[in-house]
Amino acid sequence: MRALRFTAMFIAVALLALTSSSVNATSVLQMNLAQMINNSEKVFVGTVVDLSESRIAVGGGEVPAVTYTFRVGDTFKGSYEEEKGVKFTTVTMLGTIKNVKEGKHPIVDFPLLRFGEEYLLVVGHAGSTGLTTTVGLGQGNFTLSGEDGDKVALNAASNVGLFTGMSVGFTDGVAVPYPELAALIRDIVGGAE
């Protein structure tokens, strides 16, 4: 009898785990690169040069927020501040600096951007609170790695579905050479405006 209860409990836990992983996997609309860019306010390459934490009033309460300051390199869409010939922008997202330091967020696939790291970001329109995030959460958050000229871009969704329905010479699910991705983004932005 005890073995039967243990087996039933094991099956219930396994089903719960399978159900929760499929819910997490389908909770964000899958978008290709063109759809993400068309739904964005800003698309840029930037290095995190500062982070600060604040509280934002939302619906009669407060939520924690992290404001990331980026030194901006390549710009594809949006407007940016400039100081002494260097472009900057800020992005305020739900979260805490503790989330960033621990590398985990209560919301699955929510971007956690690290100080000193370089990213290609596709950022959505800020709401009335000033909060925003990357379009498609992890889909619009690309880490750049490698040396200049040989950099590759890989989003937090491992580029899965990135080119679905698009007639481009890239394969879904693999890192993409940044120079080629940048040229494609410029084509999409040029066609969207």
Domain boundaries in the chain? 1-28, 33-192
CATH of domain 33-192: 2.40.50
Containing 90, the helix (H) or strand (E) segment is: strand 86-94
C-alpha atoms less than 13 angstroms from C-alpha of 97 in its C-beta half-sphere: 9
**pLDDT tens-place string over residues 87-140:** 999 999 888 888 888 777 777 777 888 899 999 999 999 988 888 888 888 889
What sign does the dihedral 147-149-154-155 (CA atoms) show? positive
Which of 7-21, 32-46, 77-91, 142-156 comes out lowest in average pLDDT? 7-21
Band of residue 191 on the pLDDT scale cut at 50, 70, 90: low
Exposure string (b/e) for 104-113, b if CB count within 10 Å is 16 or more?
Answer: ebeeebbbbb
Query: pTM for the full model?
Result: 0.79
Q: Are 79 and 71 in contact (CB under 8 A)?
A: no
The amino acid at residue 127 is G
